[in-house]
Amino acid sequence: MSRETSDLFQSNNLIKKIIVKDIEIINVDLSNISEYGIFCVRNPKHQGYQAKLKWLKKRFSEGLKLKLLYLHSSGPVGFIEYVPGEKTWRGVEAKGYMVIHCIWVGGSHQGKGYGSRLLEECIKDAKKEKKHGVVMVTREGGWLSGKKLFLKNNSELVKRDSPFCLMVKKFKKNAPTPDFKGEQKKKLKKYKELTLIYASQCPFLAKSIRELTSASKEKGIKLNIIELKKPAQSQNAPSPYGVFNLVYKGRLLADHYISKRRFQYIMNEELK
């Protein structure tokens, strides 16, 4: 090996060590959440921050994990939230699994393996707790993570309910296969009037709820609002996402946060 090659090799190894040393995974719980916050919303004055904070404080006792990917050179750049399947707030049947609610890495930090690093944390905890594996509801077209990261990390697509996909990483081949919970048509059937069914698992929903409430009043439409307060309620919600469901006449009009303008457009179409 030439001296130039040796120097380059040593330099690359040093860079790798610095990068690894710079990364820290921080477990956020009741003891330090006031210090680190909820990450996806940084401003405590944000209308959804306090609702999410209150929701989280109740969930830690149910086994929920919130972990930040922290770079000492630039601060927090990503996070992952997951919980045992029995206590998940997604519309899935995943007993014995660990279910990821959210995984996110900031745009400028994507493509550096940080998503996989966060996923490793969940896999490690799932194995430690002797789970069957790891599950996540992904969504094509935004809002939730897509399936690419999970396919890259040896997960498989076991069910599709467009635009959602159920991704599963089993630790043993003979483990039971998770599924979306219940038949959507049956779950929707009981909602005849315009109804918004939500939970505070996502802080960004607060703005949508406020805007939709205002828009429905402006149009003279009654909007029934139901807050889900227990995991089982979200598991049996109309949408696999679980925590946001806009329903009218037995049909799902929106499965994730929508703006006031989008709501107005949807209702104009519905009321023609």
Q: Which residues of 61-74 are buried (b: 16+ CB within 10 A; e: fewer)?
A: eeebbbbbbbbeee
Provide the CATH topology of domain 184-270: Glutaredoxin (3.40.30)
Would you state the pLDDT for residue 38? 87
Would you state the pLDDT for residue 43? 86
DSSP state of 155: -
Dihedral sign from CA coordinates of 184, 185, 186, 188: positive
Element (H, E) at 181: none
Cα 49-193-270 angle, rounded to 5 deg: 95
Long-range contacts of 107-111 (CB under 8 A, 24+ apart): 109/71, 109/77, 109/78
- As a whole number of angstroms, the distance between CA 75 and CA 12 comes to 23
Would you state the pLDDT for residue 103? 95
Look up the pTM and report it: 0.88
Q: Are 241 and 91 in contact (CB under 8 A)?
A: yes
Provide the CATH topology of domain 23-180: Aminopeptidase (3.40.630)
Would you state the pLDDT for residue 18? 37
Question: What pairs with residue 11 in β-bridges?
Answer: none
Closest C-alpha to 106, from 42, 173, 176? 42
> At residue 193, what are phi and psi to the nearest 5 degrees?
-85, 165
- Please state the length of the chain: 272
Q: Are 76 and 68 in contact (CB under 8 A)?
A: yes
Kindly list the distances between the CA atom of residue 161 and the CA atoms of 83, 119, 158, in Å, as whole numbers in the listed order: 22, 23, 10
Question: Along the chain (272 residues), what's the average pLDDT of each consecutive run of 10 residues?
Answer: 48 40 89 89 87 95 95 86 98 98 87 92 97 96 86 95 95 96 88 96 93 95 96 96 96 94 95 84
Enumerate the domain spans of the chain. 23-180, 184-270
Kindly list the distances between the CA atom of residue 69 and the CA atoms of 102, 104, 143, in Å, as whole numbers in the listed order: 13, 10, 20
